[in-house]
Amino acid sequence: MPPRSSSGTCLLCKTTVGRIAMPRHSQDCLKKSDWPEPGGLSYIIRVEGFHTKMFWLLVLARQDAELSDLDRLLRDVWVECCEHLSTFTIHGERFFSYKDNDFDDGEGEFGFSIRLDEVIGPGTVFTYEYDFGSTTKLKLSVIGISPVAPKIAPLCLIARNNRPEIPCYFCKEKGEYLVTNRSDSPYMIAICRDCTKKKVDDMEPEYVTVIPNSPRAGVCGYMEEPITAIRWYPKGWHLGDIYPAESEEALAEIMNCDEDDE
Ligand SMILES: [Zn+2]
Ligand SMILES: [Zn+2]
Ligand SMILES: [Zn+2]
């Protein structure tokens, strides 16, 4: 079984910190940063899988950031596969990605162009769902406030769980790839590089990926997209820091070797 929760990295100072200790660490790190203090307060929002604490993020959001901004961040970092619909549920009210706030349909449902400080505050716990078919559900909690604001965009990632370490299903060594089978009996297993080579004849390339650092791993052909994720990182991060491109290259090589043999 994978661990229930995991340590992560402070994206300001690049230190590894436990999930529980991270909020306090982030507060201190923000104070020491050269980020602006524009006068208002920003929210520190923890985002985690609804059913697993293995994946989590800390987001710093200005009060005037909108739900649409938060939706964009969650899609770019964690969930986007094929532009499914999404919804936030806050204090029993529902906000939908496809609703227009300028048009009241009388159903008491709202769109995403609404400021965060109109719907959340310190202590608010709310949920996000992406894709109403194979849903990925997330839990969000406003766990703190800070006088420090994100440097450029209205919101920014400030901490993220480290990539999950899941043992290989076959040999228990460190798993590197995720194998899914989207037939009638869906399953997911982690597999190491050596076992991938041994079992390459049994695998279909489109069902094998680098293990995604996302709670949507294995759902609806989800692929991790480091290029969109890094938009939300503070300055000083590079793609190679957040995604093991070498693993992906090795996988392509293993799969191609198979074709050459035929
Ligand atoms: Zn730090
Ligand atoms: Zn999809
Ligand atoms: Zn193995």
Per DSSP, the residues of 145-182 read EES---SSSSEEEEEEEPPP--B-TTT-SB--EEEEE-
Segment (H or E) for 213: none
Average pLDDT, the chain: 91
- What pLDDT is recorded for position 59? 98
CA–CA separation, 116 vs 111, rounded Å? 12
List, for residues 4-61, the tens digit of each pLDDT value. 458 999 999 999 999 999 999 999 999 999 999 988 899 999 999 999 889 999 999 9
If one counts every other C-beta atom within 10 angstroms of the C-beta of residue 75, the result is 18
Higher confidence at residue 220 or residue 230?
A: 230
The alpha carbon of 239 and the centre of ligand 3 are apart by a number of angstroms equal to 27
Start-to-end CA span in the chain (Å): 37
- Residue 91 CA from chain centroid, whole number: 23
CA–CA separation, 34 vs 50, rounded Å? 33
Query: At residue 259, does pLDDT exceed 60?
Result: no
- From 222, 217, 160, 228, select the one nearest 189 (Cα to Cα): 217
The alpha carbon of 260 and the centre of ligand 1 are apart by a number of angstroms equal to 47
Higher confidence at residue 106 or residue 118?
A: 118
Q: Say if domain 8-161 classifies as CATH 3.10.290.30.
A: yes
CA–CA separation, 25 vs 255, rounded Å? 43
- What pLDDT is recorded for position 183? 57
- What pLDDT is recorded for position 152? 85
Query: The tokens of 89 are what?
Result: 């549920």
CA–CA separation, 213 vs 46, rounded Å? 16
The alpha carbon of 3 and the centre of ligand 1 are apart by a number of angstroms equal to 23
Average pLDDT (79-103) is: 92
- What pLDDT is recorded for position 41? 93
The closest ligand to the CA of 193 turns out to be 3
The closest ligand to the CA of 135 turns out to be 2
- What pLDDT is recorded for position 150? 94
Higher confidence at residue 185 or residue 125?
A: 125
User: Domain-by-domain residue ranges, the chain?
Assistant: 8-161, 177-261
- From 44, 47, 248, 4, select the one nearest 160 (Cα to Cα): 47
Residue 220 phi/psi, 5-degree rounding, is 50, 40
Residues that place a CB less than 5 A from ion ligand 2:
81-82, 220
Contact (CB, 8 A) for 47 and 59: yes
- What pLDDT is recorded for position 104? 65
List, for residues 173-223, the tens digit of each pLDDT value. 999 999 987 554 557 899 999 999 999 988 888 889 999 999 999 898 899
Residue 17 phi/psi, 5-degree rounding, is -140, 145
Could you tell me the pLDDT band of residue 1, with boundaries at 50, 70 and 90?
Answer: very low
Residues 6+ apart with CB under 8 A from 122: 43, 142, 144, 145
The closest ligand to the CA of 173 turns out to be 3
Could you tell me the pLDDT band of residue 109, with boundaries at 50, 70 and 90?
Answer: confident
The alpha carbon of 171 and the centre of ligand 2 are apart by a number of angstroms equal to 31
Higher confidence at residue 152 or residue 108?
A: 152
Mapping DSSP to helix (H, G, I), strand (E, B) and coil, where does residue 244 land? coil
Higher confidence at residue 89 or residue 53?
A: 89
The alpha carbon of 129 and the centre of ligand 1 are apart by a number of angstroms equal to 29
